[in-house]
Amino acid sequence: MSETPSTHSTTVLLVRRAGRVCLVSDGQVTMNNQIVKSGAAKVKRAGRGQVLVGFAGGAADGLALFTRFETKLEEFPANLERAVVELAKDWRTDRALRQLQALMIVCDRHKSFLVSGNGDLLQPDEDGLLAIGSGGAFALSAARALLRHTELDAPTIAREAMRIAAEICVFTNDRLTLEELA
C-alpha cells in the first residue's frame, strides 16, 4: 500500500511597527523528507493591493482559499473583517472547503486575522504579531524579542525573525517573499 505524502507547512509571519505592516513567508515546500521546491511564493496581494494574504499548509488548498477570499473581498470591498468572517463561515460549513488543509493570515493597514478551517478567526495580541506554519512558533518568538528589544523597522524584524526560524525549523528556509503595506 502506498503512503500518502505528508506535506509540511511553511512559515508565514506578520509584523506591525510604526504604521508599517509586513507579511513574509519562506519558500520551502516539502513532501515527506524531501524538499520539492525552495522558492514558492506564499504571500500575495488582494483587494487592489491593499490586503496581504499568507498561507501555510497544502499549496493547492491555500490557493483555493485565496481565490475564495478574493471573491469575499469583492463582495465586501470596504470591510476586511466581514470578508474574513464570511470566508471562515464558508470554510467551516461548506463540505468541499472543510477538506482543505491550510491556515491563512489576512491583513490590511489596520487589522489582522488568522483564519483556519475549524472556523477559528483570531486577531493578534497587542504586539501585532501573528505566525503560522511549521516554523511559526520560532518566527513569532524571534519577532517578539526583536520588537521588544530593538528599534528595527517592521521589514527588518520580519526578515531577521524568518532567518532565525530557518536556522531552527527544518521545514523553513531563508528564500523569503515579503510584502509590505505602509
At 171, list the grid cell.
521545514
Angle CA(173)–CA(127)–CA(181) in degrees, nearest 5?
Answer: 65
| Secondary-structure percent of the chain, ordered helix, strand, coil, rounded to 5 | 35, 30, 35
Q: Distance between CA 168 and CA 174 in Å, rounded?
A: 11
* Residues in CB range of 21: below 8 A, 6 or more apart: 14, 15, 52, 107, 108, 109, 112, 154, 180, 181, 182
Q: Which amino acid is at 23?
A: L
Pairing of strands 20-25, 11-17: antiparallel
Active site residue 11: no
Question: CB under 8 Å, gap of 24 or more: what pairs does 146-151 form?
Answer: 147/15, 147/17
Of 10, 30, 172, 177, catalytic: 10
Beta bridge partners of 179: 23
Residues that are catalytic: 10
